[in-house]
Amino acid sequence: MIAFSSQTKTNIEYTAELLRKAKYAVVLTGAGISTPSGIPDFRSEGTGLWSRDEPLEVASLSTFRTDPERFFVWFRPLASQIFNAAPNPAHEALAELEKAGRIQCVITQNIDALHHKAGSRYVIEMHGTLRTLSCAQCFKKAEAKDYLESFVEQGELPRCPDCNGLLKPDVILFGEQLPQKAWYDAQRESRRCDLMLVAGSSLEVLPVAGLPMQAIDRGSHLVILNNAETYLNVRADVVIQEDVAAIMPAIAEQVING
């Protein structure tokens, strides 16, 4: 049993009350919800992926097209971590809240598919997903699970079974636009909700970081659960700067079981 401070307990209870009263609650998640599952984030000083690599040199569409071997050498450790990762209690708590009818949608900046693995049904993936791959030549789609294991274990580049072209992970690289349908859907859900809960996002990456503003500009409540400050802390009804994998299950327990 985790011992929370009295202030944290009050914030958990208030968040639970907001979720119980909400008619349409939406959750926005970022890398911080998946770091407890062993997946590194991109921007944390010293540990983030961009503290070791220059993003435009390894994770761009240009690199994939002109030097795919370099891209896949960089991508292989991350793919291994994602391939072997399991949902943590925060993912599971959100799936339970959706099943209980307390949240209606999860918008995520993550590519790891852990919300799906946890059982969430309505997930908008803003930066794409590692669940599928697409051929760079004939555009045929393939299930990533059929290729990732051999890629992770032997370094075998994923190739299209039809034309032998390289299969690109369906994640958004630098130089690519956000998927149009996902962006429209995310804006619609943000403008529709009467409560937005931000979990594990520093709200630094545009345009997704602007979605909570679209919500609160239309009168929505805002809860921020993140271990570092965000630009919207001053506008939030509740701010909890603690471990999302500990706090989110406590909120779900309070909402569902009182």
- Tell me the catalytic residues: 127
φ, ψ (nearest 5 deg) of residue 34: -105, -15
In 10 A of CB 256, how many CB atoms? 16
DSSP run (H or E) holding 68 = helix 68-84
Give the C-alpha separation, 57 to 102, whole Å: 42
| Residue at token pair 């594990």 | 200
8 A C-beta contact, residue 33 and residue 244: yes
In 10 A of CB 127, how many CB atoms? 18
| Residue at token pair 């506008």 | 235
- Geometric angle at alpha carbon 252, from 225 and 230, rounded to 5°: 5
